[in-house]
Structure 1
């Protein structure tokens, strides 16, 4: 025998409130319609649900058991309704993001943690990739959004790119490096030191070559290459080696990892870190929520870095 779940919910409220009139008011229904529902349900089960002649209403053993099930159904329906409301508002659901490894580990991961502190019901699945791979995954629906450095003028026509962070690289080293306390640094000062090279298939590897050419360092010795950001930073803080990293990564890691940037001017790439999304697909509501949060956080980071640069110039 199949019972109408709505009828069981109504029974539960009547039992909870202690009467047909009170139950009807709680449900926002008329008392006659609630009475008809209970009469129909009682006919359906073929046994009384309330003890006759008792005021206030007292459920029978069967009525109490069915009311208990009705209360569970009502609670689950309310939970489902709340979940739907939160999902539509971007406060719940699953979000798939991808990005370039150095930026994701050095900058974005901290912001993901901050986002989930505010939005604990949003599950984030993160993956790594470089631009071509990320674009492919966005097009085939494997990603909802990507965070990567891109020249705004080179944005594919089927993508929407929101630039949020300037593309600025620096020569990074450990905070206690011998060159840190020097004033003007020359090529002769830099030449004796070896370099840590990012993975050769990464945009940052091309940035390293560009940066070194811009300061006249055509030939450079590499003592460590590839690896994750964590391994690059570990080698950096444990040696006198140098490397080229995005300033945002150095800025975010300097206090926890003990690294710093040398006062050496190098050429910067014509790219900006930003959020890439397909134009023809909005993705889950949480994608817009996360993109808005990330844009705000990266803008705040940019302001902090700009402020520090201004303070450094005044001191210089």
Structure 2
């Protein structure tokens, strides 16, 4: 036998509030409509639900048991409603995020941690990749959001790209490196030390090669290559090797790992770090919330980096 769950909720309200009038007021319904619900339910179960002629209403044993089921239905409906409200507000759900390894590990991961501390209902599934691969995965629906450096004219049709940080590279070294004490650094100074090379398939590797060629150091000596960010930082801080890294990564990790920046200007890449996603109504509220959060974090970071560059880097 299938019973109408709405009638069971009405029955629970009548029992809990002690009468038709009180239940009608609590539910925002009319008393006659509740009476009809009770009559229909009694016909369906083939038994009286309240003792006849008793005032106030006195529920039968069957009524009490059905009312208990009605309460469970009410709680389930309330929980379902809360789930929908949380989803619509962007406080629950899952977001699939992809990004380039250096930025994800050096900058974005700490932002994701801050985001989840205030949005514990959102699960983040993170993967790595470079711009071309990430764009394809966003287009196919395999990713909700990508954080990557890309030239704006290379953004594939149909994708939205929001720039959040200008491409800026710096030459990094360990704190206490001999070159940090030097003034008026020249290309010959850089030739004295080995270099840590980013993975050859990364845009950062091309940046380093072009920079060193322009500085007249095309035959630079590589002491370590191919490692992830943690390996690069270990070698960098444990030796006199130099490397090229995005300014935002060095800025965010400099105090924790003891990283220094050389006061020698290099050409910045013609790429912007930004958020890549499919525009339109298909985005989930959680994706929109995360996108806005990351964008706001980078807005603050960009201003801080600019201040640090003017006040600290070029004053040495």
Match of 1:131 in 2: 131
Match of 1:27 in 2: 27
Match of 2:224 in 1: 224
Match of 1:11 in 2: 11
Does residue 86 of the first structure (1) align with residue 90 of the second (2)? no
Q: How does 1:1-316 map to 2 (within 5 A)?
A: 1-279=1-279, 282-312=282-312, 315-316=315-316
Unpaired runs of 5+ residues, structure 2, are: none
1:19 touches 1:56 (CA, 8 Å); kept in 2? Answer: yes
Separation in 1, partners of 2:121, 2:286: 10
1:172 touches 1:262 (CA, 8 Å); kept in 2? Answer: yes
Separation in 2, partners of 1:36, 1:280: 46
Tell me how far 1:54 sits from its aligned partner. Answer: 4.5
Identify if the C-alpha distance between structure 1 residues 314 and 212 changes in structure 2 by more than 3 Å, giving closer, same or farther.
Answer: closer
TM-score, scaled to structure 2: 0.94
- What secondary structure does 2:178 align onto? coil
Tell me how far 1:149 sits from its aligned partner. Answer: 0.3
Separation in 1, partners of 2:7, 2:237: 68
2:149 touches 2:271 (CA, 8 Å); kept in 1? Answer: yes
- What secondary structure does 1:275 align onto? strand
TM-score, scaled to structure 1: 0.94
Separation in 2, partners of 1:56, 1:177: 88
Tell me how far 1:50 sits from its aligned partner. Answer: 3.1
Per mean C-alpha deviation after superposition, the further-off stretch among 35-44 and 47-56 is 47-56
Tell me how far 1:191 sits from its aligned partner. Answer: 1.7
Provide the aligned C-alpha RMSD in A.
1.8
Separation in 2, partners of 1:120, 1:13: 34
Separation in 1, partners of 2:56, 2:221: 90
1:158 touches 1:280 (CA, 8 Å); kept in 2? Answer: no
Identify if the C-alpha distance between structure 1 residues 58 and 182 changes in structure 2 by more than 3 Å, giving closer, same or farther.
Answer: farther
Tell me how far 1:313 sits from its aligned partner. Answer: 6.5
- What secondary structure does 2:91 align onto? coil
1:163 touches 1:275 (CA, 8 Å); kept in 2? Answer: yes
Unpaired runs of 5+ residues, structure 1, are: none
Tell me how far 1:281 sits from its aligned partner. Answer: 6.2
- What secondary structure does 2:59 align onto? coil
Tell me how far 1:297 sits from its aligned partner. Answer: 0.8
Separation in 1, partners of 2:166, 2:293: 18
Separation in 2, partners of 1:180, 1:132: 37
Per mean C-alpha deviation after superposition, the further-off stretch among 203-212 and 60-69 is 60-69
Deviations 1:283-304 (A, max 9, x none): 2122222111111111110011
Runs of 4+ in 1 over 6 A off after TM superposition: none
Identify if the C-alpha distance between structure 1 residues 58 and 208 changes in structure 2 by more than 3 Å, giving closer, same or farther.
Answer: farther
Identify if the C-alpha distance between structure 1 residues 180 and 30 changes in structure 2 by more than 3 Å, giving closer, same or farther.
Answer: same
- What secondary structure does 2:165 align onto? strand
Tell me how far 1:33 sits from its aligned partner. Answer: 0.4
Tell me how far 1:160 sits from its aligned partner. Answer: 1.2
Separation in 2, partners of 1:60, 1:40: 16
Separation in 2, partners of 1:242, 1:49: 84
Deviations 1:37-88 (A, max 9, x none): 1121122222333344544434333322222221121111112122212222
